[in-house]
């Protein structure tokens, strides 16, 4: 399969009060960190942003949330690859091995692989079936469509999150969550 990593960085970061993609952790921004991880596993990477700033792919117009980013990636990448490795910018502790696991599990007969109770990272087969499922979920939603509804429509396989990873599958939507992540990284660094 020809893979493309997709960084979802289009959120408004309202609860955080600042752009999450620009927050620094361990000497790099969350955007740089996510891109580095996806490049290491997928070999290529694009960033999806709300406004389609130069060098990025725009969210799908008229949509909201992570599905707007996934839709924008599908629109832009359909002719460039046949599999997407999707990761939100605000989950900086997810280990590279978690990305590799969903990548390795996606086969030509499966449409999607994610994680139970976490969903991301997510591997998606990029084809007409994914485009159709996105449209179906968006049309059926009375409000904001969800990644969960997309995975249900795709009959995704959801892997259990290993116990040793469970505390790493956290995102930072507000300052307290961000501070907990910073504290953990600092504590891990001091333990070395």
Where residue 13 falls among pLDDT bands split at 50, 70, 90?
low
Q: How confident is the model at residue 54 (pLDDT cuts 50, 70, 90)?
A: confident
* Domain annotation for the chain: domains and CATH numbers: 3-191 (3.90.550.10)
Compute the Cα dihedral for 30, 33, 36, 37 and give only its sign: negative
Q: What is the DSSP letter of 162?
A: P
C-alpha span between 171 and 43 (Å, rounded): 24
Q: How far apart are CA 18 and CA 30, in angstroms?
A: 12
Q: What is the pLDDT of residues 130-188, one digit of tens each?
A: 999 999 998 886 656 789 999 999 999 999 999 999 999 988 888 888 888 888 888 87
What confidence score (pLDDT) does residue 130 get? Answer: 95
List all residues 6 or more positions away from 150 whose beta carbon is below 8 Å from its beta carbon.
Answer: 67, 70, 112, 133, 134, 137
Q: Please give the full DSSP string across 94-111, using - where no structure is assigned.
A: --HHHHHHHHHH--TT-S
Q: What is the mean pLDDT of residues 34-41?
A: 96
């Amino acid at each position: 399969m020809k893979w493309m990593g997709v960084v979802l960085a289009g959120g408004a970061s309202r609860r955080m009060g600042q752009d999450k993609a620009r927050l620094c952790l361990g000497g790099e921004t969350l955007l740089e960190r996510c891109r580095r991880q996806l490049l290491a596993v997928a070999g290529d990477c694009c960033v999806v942003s709300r406004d389609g700033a130069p060098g990025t792919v725009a969210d799908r117009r008229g949509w909201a949330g992570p599905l707007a980013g996934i839709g924008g990636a599908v629109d832009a990448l359909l002719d460039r690859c046949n599999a997407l490795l999707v990761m939100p910018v605000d989950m900086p502790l997810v280990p590279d091995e978690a990305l590799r696991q969903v990548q390795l599990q996606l086969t030509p007969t499966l449409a999607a692989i994610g994680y139970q109770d976490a969903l991301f990272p997510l591997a998606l087969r990029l084809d007409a079936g994914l485009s159709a499922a996105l449209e179906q979920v968006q049309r059926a939603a009375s409000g904001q469509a969800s990644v969960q509804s997309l995975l249900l429509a795709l009959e995704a396989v959801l892997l259990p999150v290993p116990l040793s990873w469970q505390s790493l599958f956290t995102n930072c939507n507000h300052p307290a969550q961000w501070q907990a992540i910073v504290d953990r990284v600092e504590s891990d660094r001091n333990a070395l």
